[in-house]
Amino acid sequence: MKKIVAGISLLLSVFLVSNQASAVNTKYVEEAVTVDLTDGVVTMNGKELSPPMTIGEYESCLGAADKVFNLANTIHTYHTKGIILYQTPNKEEVLAFTIFFGKEKYKFMPKKLFSGKLTINDVLITSDMQEKEFTKLLPLYEFEEKYGYKRGEYMGMYVYVNYDRDKGRLQSINIGYNNDKEE
């Protein structure tokens, strides 16, 4: 009888401890997001966004940001998704968004890295994709060096690619629309 009570007591303890452990630090559990950029159209979690994209459109796809920084741009940080949005100050318009595959040193850096799926014109983008491979697989963007990054543009959308060249890893991708382009 004592063994049964001890066994039940042990099971109950394990159950309580595991429930407490799973409740601790769930604030920044990764959330997978699907992002696609095809022929100038951004689709996030199955919802198409058309320029000029607004903060409301992004929030309908991603929910509310975990943290908002009011700097030169208003930056919306999604800690669990590995994404930040750059909003025009005092406007609803979102200029661009960045997906983080590696850690960078910004105070607005998300707590988790992007763990979702990113495709650009049917090319799956991964953190281990080499820089030359990236530009070769997306020739329509005509990538060139700009501000220390690779920058390409196609159908009114631009893509900045940031690599950690020492590690040969993709750090981040910034995607936005070119609102200065003459039609």
Enter the pTM of the model.
Answer: 0.81
Residue 138 domain-assigned?
Answer: yes
Please report the DSSP string for the chain in residue order: -HHHHHHHHHHHHHHHHHHHHHHTT-TT-----EEEEETTEEEETTEEE-SSPBHHHHHHHH-S-SEEEESSSEEEEETTTTEEEEEPTTSSBEEEEEEESS----TT--SS---SEEEETTEEE-TT--HHHHHHH-GGG--EEETTEEEEEETTEEEEEEEETTTTEEEEEEEEE-TT---
Residue 29 domain-assigned?
Answer: no
Q: What is the pLDDT of residue 14?
A: 29
Q: Write the pLDDT tens digit of every residue in 27-69.
A: 545 578 999 999 999 999 999 998 888 999 999 999 999 999 9
Say whether pLDDT at 70 is over 80. Answer: yes
Q: Can you give the CATH number for the domain in which 135 is found?
A: 3.40.33.10
Structurally, how many domains does the chain consist of? 1
Residue 68 domain-assigned?
Answer: yes
Q: What is the pLDDT of residue 42?
A: 95
Residue 10 domain-assigned?
Answer: no
Residue 23 domain-assigned?
Answer: no
- What's the pLDDT band for 180 if we cut at 50, 70, 90? low
Residue 19 domain-assigned?
Answer: no
Domain residue limits at 103: 34-177
